[in-house]
């Protein structure tokens, strides 16, 4: 039974270490134009500034499909296949086309930075009481069998260092025409298991915040 208790304690220590390295996405900063009193936007072009064209298309498609009824999301690659077309020199041309096709919003997102940090987790000590009598499996058993717990064991998990990777992603919503910023949010994803996980978590947060802000239907 002592061996089983030892294994349980060590497993708990390992679990804490794994939880420390788990992935999570959170909002670092968010801003909304306090003067915006408009109704939910009707048609939003979505542009993802990504190095890989595949990533751009996947994320734009995902966001476009996630908008609720009443707001149409259109991937920018269907309008401007070459992302180099979207630049300040082409502003008048882009604005004219978006206005002609009835767009009243533009949503953009980009990866701002990838930071890697070494995180140190100090040694942790855990105390496991020895099993005693018929109360095995019951926390502390009863008064009559408590004496057996005098022989408790302390286990210390060694300190360790792991690398933590943070991805900062900036999202901005503009009003069309004019290109005025209506809303922006920066998210931080820590130790994601994959690019797909970042996409899922960040797009879900974008959807939620756009609905909360009244920029798309609820």
Most distant CA pair in the chain, distance: 86
Domains and CATH numbers, the chain: 24-119+163-212 (3.40.50), 123-157 (no CATH)
pLDDT at 98: 93
Residue 13 burial (CB count, 10 A)? 19
Pairing of strands 160-175, 153-157: unpaired
> Are the C-beta atoms of residues 35 and 180 closer than 8 Å to each other?
no
pLDDT at 140: 54
Label each residue of 130-150 as H, E or C. CCCHHHCCCCCCCHHHHHHHH
Q: What percent of the chain has pLDDT over 70?
A: 74
> Are the C-beta atoms of residues 103 and 173 closer than 8 Å to each other?
no
Residue 53 burial (CB count, 10 A)? 12
Provide the Cα torsion 77, 78, 80, 81; round to 10°.
Answer: 60
pLDDT digits (tens, 9 = 90+) for 109-122: 999 988 887 777 78
pLDDT at 62 over 90: yes
Pairwise pLDDT comparison (68 vs 126), residue with the higher score: 68
Label each residue of 182-215 as H, E or C. EEEEEEEEECCCCHHHHHHHHHHHHHHHHHHCCC
**pLDDT band at 144; cut points 50, 70, 90:** low
Query: Per mean pLDDT, which range of 4-18, 80-94, 118-132 is the poorest?
Result: 4-18
Pairwise pLDDT comparison (172 vs 4), residue with the higher score: 172
């Amino acid at each position: 039974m002592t061996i089983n208790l030892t294994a349980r304690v060590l497993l708990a220590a390992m679990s804490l270490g794994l939880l420390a390295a788990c992935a999570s996405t959170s909002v670092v900063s968010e801003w909304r134009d306090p003067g915006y009193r408009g109704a939910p936007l009707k048609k939003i072009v979505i542009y993802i500034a990504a190095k890989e064209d595949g990533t751009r298309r996947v994320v734009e498609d995902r966001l476009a499909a996630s908008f609720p009824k009443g707001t149409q999301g259109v991937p920018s690659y269907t309008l401007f296949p070459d992302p180099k077309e979207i630049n300040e020199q082409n502003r008048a041309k882009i604005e004219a086309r978006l206005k002609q096709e009835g767009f009243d919003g533009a949503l953009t997102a980009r990866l701002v930075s990838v930071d890697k940090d070494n995180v140190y987790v100090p040694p942790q000590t855990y105390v496991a009481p020895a099993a005693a009598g018929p109360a095995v499996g019951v926390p502390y058993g009863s008064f009559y069998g408590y004496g057996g717990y005098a022989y408790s064991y302390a286990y210390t998990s060694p300190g360790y260092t792991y690398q933590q990777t943070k991805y900062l992603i900036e999202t901005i919503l503009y009003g069309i025409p004019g290109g005025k910023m209506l809303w922006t949010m920066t998210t931080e994803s820590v130790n994601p298991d994959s690019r797909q996980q970042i996409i899922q978590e960040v797009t879900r947060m974008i959807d939620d915040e756009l609905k909360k802000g009244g920029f798309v239907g609820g």
